[in-house]
A and B are shown apart, each in its own frame.
Chain A
């Protein structure tokens, strides 16, 4: 037996040596490029339409973009473990609470950029300190209400609060209460209405559900059209995308649903932002700033509006998107992003306690 073992082991050693070498070779860093000729991007934006946004940056600056796309939390966990040696230059996230968390945890490097300070409104970027600003919003999306025209009087569902009113029993649909979009909305409601009122609201919502929370935002709109639900919450760009679709089944859906800007005389609509900043240990800081300034340029801002139907943050940009035009102008909430971020955990607790799945 012993003989069998030793002979076998020596051959295994040879095999593992070969694999070990292969592993080592594959782990060698590709020869490091000159600083600021590449840009390493960690992005939580998952939109197909962003491809040309990145391609245009490379075309105009010659800076090559290396990208990793994953969800916000995965990226933040990864940055955290990489520590000071992290290759990330720019971090893009898609939720206000996450931006705030990343800022609080020191993931961003404060920067000073006249271009960004000038173009991006103060309420859509982090508060500046002596070192500069940590993150900037580049596009916004609103949490709007869609309803079935045959089953709902718009007056009954024109605020977030009314969705929890007993008159809407058995009519309401939303996505899961654990989703960041929902948590940010509830975080904003806590700020607007207080904790006790929000707890009551969550219980009212659960009592009004047409079905258990499930699916994405597009699913909610389709379910409203099919009659499974009568009213639902969705992000504005999903509705805009359906409005611009040429597929026959999408056209049928859009014909059946109406949309409402909630709380237009009661605190404004809840908006969320997609934004980013320079990573704390960015190896290519100049390229990173250049990229953020590019995202605030007219061309890129028009991209957000045209490609993904989001609202640009730069006021002077002229948007030519029929769906966004059809959604019309609206009044926005005055809740600070820091408050939404801070309330995230409380929001999850309230929803869990109310049985909001």
Chain B
């Protein structure tokens, strides 16, 4: 068990090793024009641009971190604990923005609000206003867009965690004379901290790895530096050095959080949770709660969809003959990868739990950084690896390599969710089950799975939607004639055909919505 899980983990870290090798060997890239050494590229970048890139990255992460925390935790808290008008809809509808890729949200946001866009043109021409709105292609615009796209990560995990615990805690807290705000701050939030951190970490890793949306906003982040080194200077080795810097940073943050958390262990001692009875809000409080959820939903989902439908109506529904192929490819790739990723995640999480091995826990930590790896860099890592083994021709005839890349990038989304779920199953339960003679599979089937159901569904959902939206690795590693909806969207954007992009972009959203709705309803049902 130990060996096989270490082997699996190793198989998934190979490309990162390939990257490190490439960096050490200083492999020149085929796009290099003269034998520039990495050091010179790095020095140049450091002297002229890297500081700016790092500052922008930090500001962007801070902004998005606060944004997803406020939107995710705020909405989750309201929906998990209170009864107010519209709650039944908000409960699942607030997850919907998860299906909108950040780059699509960026196109729509900018197109709608830019100086030459419909809103500002109307203000100028119909109202004669001479002042301009702030430029949507800016740091503020990016923070807004990413927060709207990514808060569901936090919302999902926070809500699961609030639903599991908060009701009883709130009751206990009230008998101790806490106000509900105090109880939330002192009890519930610290209890949900691991889950909330996981959600924020997922969101920020997505921001760190993003290149498409960021460059559309005209921002220059650390990922810009990686791409500049690779594409403009043709210096793959410098790009790899920068990628490894980014990964180390992510690892340090993770380690620091774990270390802090290690001193605060919680496990529920009593698991016969009865469904909590949400408090009914009345008067202005009900209105505030409604407004908070409704505005989030409006800006994050309803408005972007309206703009997308508007683009679509402008374009007319001339479905591209290739459209059904894109749809089929996207669906099958996403479903297959999601199932595979969750199986791997379950296996790795259980291996770490059952063997109680520090090594395995460390390995699982390591695997989660894949998410912060820009897809293109991961792609180059895989290419280096395949090149070394001389099996790169596999890419053209099989989707296997592409699925492998997805697994490396998105396993962490599944693993985090399942690990968080497992922390809620106490070791004592396993002991009791074993004493009562439960066979291991029986124990997993009859005790763990029912308790883990939400986490497994959440994991499936994350991976499915992520694969649906993934772009750079897909572009680099896909076999012949296999275009996905995301690829089609990208090609049309590269060709600067925004209106034609509406159909594939909308399809990504709609296809992503199906599992989001199904799963979120399943999650919402009481066990």
| Chain A positions near chain B (C-beta within 8 angstroms) | 1, 3-9, 11-13, 15, 19, 23, 26-30, 40, 46-48, 51, 66-74, 76-83, 85-87, 97-98, 100-102, 104-105, 107, 176, 178, 183, 211-219, 222-223, 225-228, 238, 247, 253, 341-342, 344-345, 348-349, 352-353, 355, 357
Contacts and interface: CB of A to CB of B under 8 A. Distances in A.
Contact of A215 (B32, B218, B220): B218
B387 A81 contact: yes
A216 B111 CA distance: 12
B420 interface: no
Q: Is the interface of A mostly helix, strand, loop or mixed?
A: helix
B1 A40 contact: no
Contacts of B440: 3-5, 7-8
B383 A81 contact: yes
Contacts of A218: 496
A129 to B, nearest CB: 20
Contact of B1 (A6, A76, A82, A225): A6
Nearest to A228: B115
A131 to B, nearest CB: 20
Given A23-B400, A74-B475, A87 B33 contact: no
B30 interface: yes
B496 A238 contact: yes
B216 to A, nearest CB: 8
Contact of B115 (A4, A70, A223): A223
B187 to A, nearest CB: 33
A48 B497 contact: yes
Given A40-B480, A48-B492, A86-B393, A11 B441 contact: yes
B366 interface: no
B251 to A, nearest CB: 26
A107 B29 CA distance: 12
Contacts of A7: 439-441
Nearest to A94: B494
A176 B29 contact: no
Contacts of A357: 218, 220
Interface string B5-33: 00000000000000000000000011111
A4, A212, A222 pick with most chain B CB within 10 angstroms: A4
B116 A225 contact: yes
A345 B233 contact: yes
Interface in B329-347: 340, 343, 347
Given A8-B350, A23-B403, 12 more contacts: A4-B443, A5-B354, A19-B340, A23-B400, A28-B398, A29-B398, A74-B379, A81-B392, A101-B33, A213-B218, A219-B114, A345-B234
21 contacts: A7-B441, A12-B4, A26-B399, A29-B398, A40-B396, A67-B480, A72-B31, A77-B31, A77-B236, A77-B383, A78-B383, A78-B477, A80-B29, A82-B392, A85-B390, A85-B392, A178-B231, A215-B216, A216-B496, A226-B115, A345-B33
Interface of B: 1, 4, 29-34, 36, 44-45, 48-49, 110, 114-116, 120-121, 124, 132, 135, 137, 215-218, 220, 224, 227-228, 230-234, 236, 314, 322, 340, 343, 347, 350, 354-355, 376, 379-380, 383-384, 386-387, 390, 392-400, 403, 430, 434, 439-441, 443-444, 475-481, 483, 487, 491-492, 494-497, 500
B393 A8 contact: no
A176 B217 CA distance: 11
Given A101-B33, A178-B228, A226 B441 contact: no
Contacts of B480: 40, 66-68, 87
B16 to A, nearest CB: 16
A226 B475 CA distance: 34
A187 to B, nearest CB: 10
Contact of A70 (B36, B224, B354, B476): B476
B183 to A, nearest CB: 38
Nearest to A353: B48
B137 A9 contact: no
A15 B343 contact: yes
Contact of A77 (B30, B34, B397): B30
Contact of A73 (B230, B340, B384, B495): B230
Contact of A76 (B31, B49, B443): B31
A30 B116 contact: no
Nearest to A212: B218
A349 B44 contact: yes
Contact of B354 (A8, A212, A355): A8
Contacts of B314: 247
Contacts of A253: 116
Contacts of A13: 4
B397 A344 contact: no
A253 B228 CA distance: 33
B476 A74 contact: yes
A104 B30 CA distance: 9
A87 to B, nearest CB: 5
A348 B233 contact: yes
A66 B110 CA distance: 35
B114, B228, B231, B477 pick with most chain A CB within 10 angstroms: B231
Shortest beta-carbon contacts, A-B, top 5: A214-B218, A81-B387, A27-B398, A66-B480, A226-B116
B116 A219 contact: yes
A98 B31 CA distance: 8
A226 B340 contact: no
Contacts of B1: 5-6, 8-9, 12
B231 A83 contact: no
B354 A1 contact: yes
A77 B386 CA distance: 12
A245 to B, nearest CB: 10
A70 to B, nearest CB: 4
A188 to B, nearest CB: 15
B396 A69 contact: no
B343 A19 contact: yes
A28 B233 CA distance: 37
Contact of B33 (A83, A227, A341, A353): A341
A176 B218 contact: yes
Contact of B31 (A47, A69, A101): A101
Contacts of A19: 340, 343
Contacts of A9: 1, 4
Contacts of B132: 228
Nearest to B380: A77
Nearest to A226: B116
Contacts of A97: 33
A159 B120 CA distance: 31
A29 B475 contact: no
Nearest to A29: B397
A222 B439 contact: no
Contacts of A102: 30
B219 to A, nearest CB: 9
A345 B34 contact: yes
A105 B116 CA distance: 42
B383 A215 contact: no
Contacts of A74: 376, 379, 475-476
Contact of B394 (A27, A105, A216): A27
Contacts of B217: 214
